Structure 1
């Protein structure tokens, strides 16, 4: 399956940060920019984000779209079987997602995290049945470690399908997938659809050292955005270093956000970069990063500017998969 280099994602925006009419305008701006790949999850805004995306895509030719969603996080009343990757939850979750998205199938159904509380054989078996039923064309995962990818792919192939993608966090600063996950993915034939290419806005340069966050920015959003960007903003030295990327962006005629997205896409193992938006013009501008080529010497300069701030510890991937989901 082919996807656009930029995937429009509606985490932290649809159903929470922005009104539905604005969300719809953002989706239409993505379509106008040539983006046909859309990513969501049932856990986003506790299922509301899927509904908003489904409504925004109504009337579009279904075969011309690539619609992704995910299963794992607690949804609905968040009871004991409303979460995880058990067969019960997966089979029920896919039906709910299809209803909200107003479609008979999704192009990619993803395990949002690894579930340590469910046998992997059970999870893979449920995904195999969903593919056979035609409710999902492909299966992927998100934030799985190299070992988890290898084990999952082995079982998937035995079950008659393959894991085709991983959705990890990846940007100029956060590079934890490079050491282990990428080599494993190359061996296994798994592509990367990466999230947070601009580090929750940090790499746009709008957060200035020693100054309050701009009004209306993600860092001021108390519904979830603030929590996601806070760790970056506490690092004053990092914010100073990010400002030193401005001459590089200017040399290429790019905005800082476009530079960050283009950097991600420069890496050949990245299939697509996930980009969200709270205003239509954001997606229009950021989509222009597709097709940009950054010369090798400028890639080296970027590494030099950010030296000391680049995170490469592969254990941080595993850290995003809790040891247990059973909290009731």
Structure 2
């Protein structure tokens, strides 16, 4: 069997919390238990919110947890040309288009449709499907924004993409919980899950000022790093549909996917940087030790 390759890919746009610790430790221990490799990838395509200082703190926190990783670390901000190349391939297939509507315009249009009794589709994360520029703007305004090089997003035309793919898209879902003998063949047995990319509508692949998006860069990087097992939180389960259709279109290898449980707060909500969930650095400052973190996230210290 090919040597398993696992990765942990955080964004340095805030400090790591217990949910990140759980995912990082799972990937690290899975690599150790299977004789595989553990990679760290810095997903810093947002060059405004992601800072060198936050990356330094992130690496310190992971080292404090006892994790080690292969070097050099891949930083997405250093690889924009590679993502641009993937985007050009999709553009060459006539599968992308520029979308000029602002978030406020989309929100207002969808609200008007729903007020009129139209059941407007939303993606699994709750965002409304893109209505298309001409549903909101007249031809003159569309032309004006194009000629003025107004801000835009590059979106995947999902209908055309699925017509090109033709065959139903699936993904391989394996167990995320590490058993007593993960090196055994059973842990790598996969169920085929039917993908539903259409549920996401025309996803964003890039923006005028950023030549990539999470969806595009993650599939490109998993392929170029030879990642065989993508182990991540259940909040990204449905996004796998988008990743699989991009892998098929770009002729990238298909990894196995493992979606682990989420670490929740006292109100049952997923931990999030945007909610200022208690960070690992806060716990360290409060005197917590690594075994305390293991206990908090429900993972055995000697697993």
> After TM superposition, is the score higher than 0.5?
no
| TM-score when normalising by structure 1 | 0.31
- Which protein has the larger Cα radius of gyration, Structure 1 or Structure 2? 2
Q: TM-score, normalised by structure 2?
A: 0.33
State the structure with bigger RCO (CA 8 A, min sep 6), 1 or 2.
Answer: 2
